Homo-oligomer: A and B are copies of this chain.
Amino acid sequence: MDAPVLRVGVIGAGNVGGALVELLSDPSRHVALVDAATATLELVGVAVRDASRARPEVPTHLITTDAASLAARDDLDILVEVIGGIEPARTYIESALSRGTSVVTANKALMAEAGTQLAALAHEHGADLFYEAAVGGAIPILRALRSSLAGERIERVMGIVNGTTNFILSKMTSEASDYAPALAEAQALGYAEADPSADVEGFDAAAKVQIISSLAFGTRLAGESITREGITGVRAVDVEFARRAGFVIKLLGVAERVGETGISRRVHPAMVPLEHPLAAVHGAMNAVFVEGAKSGPLMWLGPGAGGYPTATAVLGDVLDAARNRVSGRHDVPFSIDETLHAIDTNDIASVFYLSLDVLDQPGVLAAVAGVFGDHGVSIQSMEQSGVADEARLSFVTHVARTGDVFATLNDLASLASVDSIGACIRVIDGGDR
């Protein structure tokens, strides 16, 4: 019998697509497939927007501008989609899946929005839908959740899943700099967009939390219930406070069980103890920290972006889909637990660090402390430092309900003696890990 040839089409030849085509052109990278399924891969088409652009890594005769026709080819075994965004990516993917063509995508936005529906469509037509590269670039976290941890009960996932914000916070930590210059440096180096809001406001991290939590807990909860707090309010003084206390500030995406059927999902900055593995995730690196009921804590770390790293994750998915195809099977969608419901972030308890600038006058501290007391938020420690004719107050609370802390901040903002409210940062401590 001749070795089967699996026909692969790629939509998108940018950073990731170009790297993938280069990897696919190297037969030594198919060895595992040849061994596992005595099959080979054949690249049959690469859809691009502008066919006139020079792409030395893509054979000219494979280039097409007709992505819709490539996705709809009846002889296609695997379609790779690396253009991103909701449309037209979704239409291409639906077209392929409904013909029984397996799909590999790196599309975070689309998988966060419609992953469950697309997975069901794939299953209906006996195809695979893999999207390892949509979260954490090269980090193989999604396959681990689907296979190695398939029999484990996940209790909590905490991820540093946005490289831009981790780069900015790492800069602020290593250079004791403020947010604005660190952002400017990230922009100059290409780590941050001209409009950085998708990253610094936590939208990107929230999409990844949506994808990870769907797999880790089997929820069908919509992404809208994930609350977001970004890093724009974090200042050099907060980073310095954290450092002195043995912490480092990270933007975390968190998804965790609350009781038997509750799931809390949120993105916010947090003070992570220096001895926690997440504290050692520097620069643009990503990491996902998973706590299983029986496995204990596990962490995956790696580059969260970049053409080649992301392309290796896509290639891993392509090889997996190819092996399944040869043996005539497909992976089924992850289990859905319909009993799970979203927990309001306001009802989550944590230790908080808060900082505010107040007028340096007698009685101010008493007024401020009174507001904390009004909301039942108990203060663990307070630090006062003078800045010109103002004073900066830094508080660490005892464990408090998030909603009560937010209400406290709201009331503090309306005190005449409070000049400005600074950061509001969760403190991840021993009990909260």
Interface residues, chain A, with chain B CB atoms under 8 Å away: 19, 23, 28-36, 132, 138-140, 143-144, 146-153, 218, 275-277, 279-282, 285, 292, 294-303, 306, 308-309, 311-313, 315-316, 318-320, 327-329, 331-335
How far is the CB of A232 from the nearest CB of chain B, in Å?
26
Alpha-carbon separation in the docked complex, A17 to B329 (Å):
31
B138 and A292 contacting across the interface, CB-CB below 8 Å: yes
B150 and A140 contacting across the interface, CB-CB below 8 Å: no
How far is the CB of A144 from the nearest CB of chain B, in Å?
5
B279 and A316 contacting across the interface, CB-CB below 8 Å: no
Contact of A313 among B148, B297, B327, B329 (CB under 8 A): B148
How far is the CB of A339 from the nearest CB of chain B, in Å?
12
Alpha-carbon separation in the docked complex, A316 to B151 (Å):
6
Question: Which residue of the partner chain B has the closest CB to A280?
Answer: B280
B308 and A35 contacting across the interface, CB-CB below 8 Å: no
B329 and A329 contacting across the interface, CB-CB below 8 Å: yes
Contact of A153 among B29, B132, B301, B331 (CB under 8 A): B29
How far is the CB of A198 from the nearest CB of chain B, in Å?
23
Indicate whether A335 sits within 8 Å of B31 (C-beta atoms), given known contacts A148-B140, A320-B147, A327-B329: yes
Q: Could you say how many copies of this chain the assembly holds?
A: 2
Alpha-carbon separation in the docked complex, A296 to B140 (Å):
13
Which residues of the other chain, B, contact A30 by a CB distance below 8 angstroms? 151
A298 and B302 contacting across the interface, CB-CB below 8 Å: yes
Alpha-carbon separation in the docked complex, A146 to B147 (Å):
13
Alpha-carbon separation in the docked complex, A264 to B30 (Å):
25
Alpha-carbon separation in the docked complex, A396 to B152 (Å):
46
Alpha-carbon separation in the docked complex, A293 to B268 (Å):
34
Alpha-carbon separation in the docked complex, A309 to B294 (Å):
6
Which residues of the other chain, B, contact A313 by a CB distance below 8 angstroms? 148, 295
Which residues of the other chain, B, contact A297 by a CB distance below 8 angstroms? 301-303
Contact of A275 among B34, B282, B292, B301 (CB under 8 A): B282
B298 and A138 contacting across the interface, CB-CB below 8 Å: yes
Which residues of the other chain, B, contact A32 by a CB distance below 8 angstroms? 146, 150-151, 334-335
How far is the CB of A30 from the nearest CB of chain B, in Å?
7
B331 and A36 contacting across the interface, CB-CB below 8 Å: yes
B151 and A144 contacting across the interface, CB-CB below 8 Å: no
How far is the CB of A356 from the nearest CB of chain B, in Å?
32
Alpha-carbon separation in the docked complex, A138 to B290 (Å):
12
Question: Which residue of the partner chain B has the closest CB to A283?
Answer: B275
For the complex of A and B, list the 7 residue pairs with the smallest distance between their C-beta atoms, beginning with the closest. Answer: A280-B280, A140-B148, A32-B150, A298-B302, A299-B301, A295-B312, A294-B308
- A sample of 11 more A-B contacts (CB under 8 A), given A140-B144, A296-B306, A299-B301, is A28-B153, A35-B334, A140-B147, A140-B149, A143-B148, A149-B312, A277-B301, A280-B280, A294-B311, A295-B303, A298-B302
Contact of A312 among B36, B147, B151, B333 (CB under 8 A): B151
Question: Which residue of the partner chain B has the closest CB to A311?
Answer: B294
